């Protein structure tokens, strides 16, 4: 199991949810992020790497930028 950071934002772009997720795979962590209701955008991070951005129910992969 890996620990992921979940950041979700509201319609104004303000941080609305900050949580920790334990998941066996990136896909499981992404599924947990998709389950957050009322979030406009969520980011899933593993350590300091962005795993995916979820927006409109779709996951966007491949963005790799360090967590500031």
Q: Delimit the domains of the chain by residue range.
A: 2-61
- Give the model confidence (pLDDT) of 9-67 as tens digits: 988 888 988 999 999 999 999 999 888 877 789 999 999 999 999 987 787 875 554 44
pLDDT of residue 66: 47
In this predicted structure, the answer to whether residue 68 has a pLDDT above a threshold of 80 is no
Pick the more confident residue, 37 or 8: 8
Other C-beta atoms closer than 10 Å to the C-beta of 67 total 12
Number of alpha carbons in the 13 Å side-chain half-sphere of residue 25: 3
pLDDT of residue 7: 94
pLDDT of residue 64: 52
Q: With H, G, I as helix, E, B as strand and everything else as coil, classify residue 63.
A: coil
pLDDT of residue 62: 58
């Amino acid at each position: 199991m890996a620990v992921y950071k979940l950041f979700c934002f509201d319609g104004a772009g303000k941080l609305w949810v900050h949580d920790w997720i334990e998941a066996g795979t990136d896909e499981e962590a992404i599924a947990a992020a998709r389950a957050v209701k009322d979030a406009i955008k969520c980011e899933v991070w593993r350590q300091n790497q962005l795993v995916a951005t979820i927006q409109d129910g779709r996951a966007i992969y491949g963005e790799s930028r360090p967590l500031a």
